[in-house]
Amino acid sequence: MIEFQHVFKSYGQGRNILADITFRVAAGEFVYVAGPSGAGKSTLLKLIGGLEAPSRGSIQVNGQRLEQLSARARPYLRRSVGVILQDTHLLYDRSAIENVLLPLTVTGLPNDVARARARAALDKVGLNNKENTPPIELSGGEQQRLAIARAIVNRPAILIADEPTASLDKDTARRIMSVFKDFNRVGVTTLIASHDDDLMAEYATRAFKIEPGKFADSANRRPAHTEP
Ligand code: ADP
Ligand code: ADP
């Protein structure tokens, strides 16, 4: 489903942000991407979403080799990976439903079908009564849920989110995480970058820890009974 093989990433002539990263994430996993600020968490997510290209190595997502993707094929990948970046990029002068409709405009779906789908997406994140509200009038948690609705409206197999609970209080953060868990339960592979170890431990089944020059994968930890 997601496979990295000896992936390196640097920006321009800069140092390697990620160096020699190899892992495989199976369909339906829920992965916590941990690490200090600037470690490369966003970079890792952007590589998976096809928003950045690796400097070296091979990345496979849903059977597609990303380093070989043409500019023409890229939008199709974007549809199979729902992306929620730190800056949600919501359009504040449009209504909630218009924001969710945006990713559907390129699909050529008939208007009424697209609207029904956008409504269903708003419904899944609990914003069915905010359809006509512009994001500016929504709370932080509601804006985050709107960003999730926009990310899942194309029914992606993979959902990646960069610090989706960063500016939220504990209860709101939990509500956001349970929205992700709901999608994960129906099979959506989920990767979330966060700083909140305690919160993520409640939801994730696997953790990647990125530190400058280091990558740890909880799936590679030796089981305790093999210790001498
Ligand atoms: P994190 O999400 O863990 O905070 P990032 O992936 O955002 O880390 O950033 C990792 C490093 O890469 C940082 O040093 C950051 O300044 C650098 N970086 C990120 N994006 C770019 C870019 N577009 N151009 C140059 N450097 C970048
Ligand atoms: P460390 O050796 O510092 O504990 P780990 O790789 O074990 O680093 O884990 C990094 C962080 O991710 C830890 O703070 C831990 O609480 C959390 N963590 C570890 N395993 C999981 C998991 N399966 N699901 C969610 N979070 C986890």
- pLDDT tier at 221, thresholds 50, 70, 90: confident
Q: What is the ipTM of this complex?
A: 0.72
The C-alpha atoms of residue 84 and residue 144 are separated, in whole angstroms, by 9
Residues 164-174 have a mean pLDDT of 93
Q: Is 38 in the pocket of ligand 1 (CB under 6 A)?
A: yes
Q: Is 35 in the pocket of ligand 1 (CB under 6 A)?
A: yes
- pLDDT tier at 213, thresholds 50, 70, 90: confident
Structure tokens at 200: 């993520």
Q: pLDDT of 43-76, one tens digit each? A: 999 999 999 999 999 999 998 898 888 888 877 7
What's the gap between Cα 205 and its chain centre? 16
22 by Cβ neighbours in 10 Å (0-12 / 13-18 / 19+) ranks as middle
Q: Is 85 in the pocket of ligand 1 (CB under 6 A)?
A: no
Atom of ligand 1 nearest to the CA of 210: 3
The C-alpha atoms of residue 86 and residue 99 are separated, in whole angstroms, by 17
Residue 156 pLDDT? 95
pTM above 0.90, yes or no: no
Q: What's the gap in Å between 60 CA and the centre of ligand 2?
A: 25
Q: What's the gap in Å between 144 CA and the centre of ligand 2?
A: 25
Q: Is 34 in the pocket of ligand 2 (CB under 6 A)?
A: yes
The C-alpha atoms of residue 28 and residue 100 are separated, in whole angstroms, by 24
Q: Is 218 in the pocket of ligand 2 (CB under 6 A)?
A: yes
